[in-house]
Amino acid sequence: MLKDITIGQYYPTGSYIHQLDPRAKILATFAYIVGLFIVDNFFTYGLLALFVLACIHISKIPIKYMLKGLKPLRVIIIITFIINIFMTSGETLFSIGPLNVTIEGLYQGTFMALRLMFLVVGTSMLTLTTSPIILTDGIENLLKPFKKIGVPAHELAMMMTIALRFIPTLLEETDKIMKAQMARGADFESGNIINRAKSLVPLLVPLFISAFRRADELAMAMEARCYRGDTNRTRMKQMIMTGRDYKALSIMTLLMAMLVYIRVSF
| 115-133 pLDDT tens trace | 999 998 888 888 889 887 7
Average pLDDT over residues 172-189: 78
CA–CA separation, 163 vs 167, rounded Å? 7
Q: What is the pLDDT of residue 230?
A: 66
Query: CB–CB of 118/52 below 8 Å?
Result: yes
Residue type, 196: R
Res 232: pLDDT: 66
Q: Is the pLDDT of residue 248 over 80?
A: yes
**pLDDT mean over 223-232:** 75
**Mean pLDDT over residues 135-144, rounded?**
85
DSSP letter at 136?
H
Contact 119/70 with Cβ under 8 angstroms?
A: no
Q: What residues contact residue 163 under an 8 Å CB cut-off, 6+ apart?
A: 8
Q: Report the pLDDT averaged over residues 91-120.
A: 85
- The 8-class DSSP code of residue 93 comes to E
Q: How confident is the model at residue 243, as a pLDDT?
A: 92
Helix H or strand E segment including 92: strand 92-96
Sequence-ordered alpha helix ranges (H) in the chain: 22-36, 42-59, 63-68, 74-87, 103-128, 132-143, 153-183, 193-199, 201-224, 243-265
Residues present in the chain in total: 266
Burial readout 68-107 (b: 16 or more C-beta within 10 A, e: otherwise): ebbebbeeebeebbeebbeebeeeeeeeeeeebbbeebbb
The share of the chain scoring above pLDDT 70, in percent, equals 91
In the predicted model, what is the mean pLDDT of the chain? 83
Most confident of 63-67, 227-231, 241-245: 241-245
Would you state the pLDDT for residue 6? 65
Query: What is d(CA 36, CA 119) in angstroms, rounded to the nearest whole number?
Result: 7
Q: Rounded to an integer, what distance in angstroms lies between the CA atom of residue 218 and that of residue 119?
A: 31
Contact 52, 120 (CB under 8 A): no
Q: Give the residue from 18, 49, 73, 33 showing the smallest Cα distance to 248.
A: 18
